[in-house]
Amino acid sequence: MLEDKIFSKTGLKSFQENLILRLGPDEGRALAVLGADFFFLVDELSRTLQVKHPQDAPLLDLSESEFPWELQVFTNQFLRECAQTSRQLIFFCHGLRNKLEEEEFQLQFWKILDEAYQHHFFVADSKKNYLV
């Protein structure tokens, strides 16, 4: 897969690779039923969040190696909350991946995702009560 090649070049593990490492090969691969679009979106969205928020790992008391995983977990939760069932999730992710090619939709989507990110990673001590 292209995503695997991109991740191996950057030294980051894809969400599916991380799941296989944490859950074991059988359980991790069984989640492939969620579909390629789901795993693509988790990887792409979490990687973009990491680029947009490079200074947040220390604020969250996370190491540079923990931060990408936490972003993947957050993105996974965000996408799963957008659908009521795994079956709906497959269709949702396929449609979302296509819609994200539209610039206006992409802008609106990122406003929603950024707000969810702020709420998820809320830090009470931070200057504005939100991350940078």
Is 59 part of any domain? Answer: yes
Is 128 part of any domain? Answer: no
**Residue 8, pLDDT score:** 44
Is 126 part of any domain? Answer: no
**Residues in contact with 70: Cβ distance below 8 Å, sequence separation at least 6, in sequence order:** 60, 62
pLDDT band at residue 128 using 50, 70 and 90 as cut-offs: low
pLDDT band at residue 59 using 50, 70 and 90 as cut-offs: confident
Is 125 part of any domain? Answer: no
Domain range for 62 is 2-120
Number of compact structural domains in the chain: 1
The chain-wide mean pLDDT, for the chain, equals 84
**Residues in contact with 56: Cβ distance below 8 Å, sequence separation at least 6, in sequence order:** 67, 121, 131, 132
Is 113 part of any domain? Answer: yes
pTM value?
A: 0.81
Is 131 part of any domain? Answer: no
Is 56 part of any domain? Answer: yes
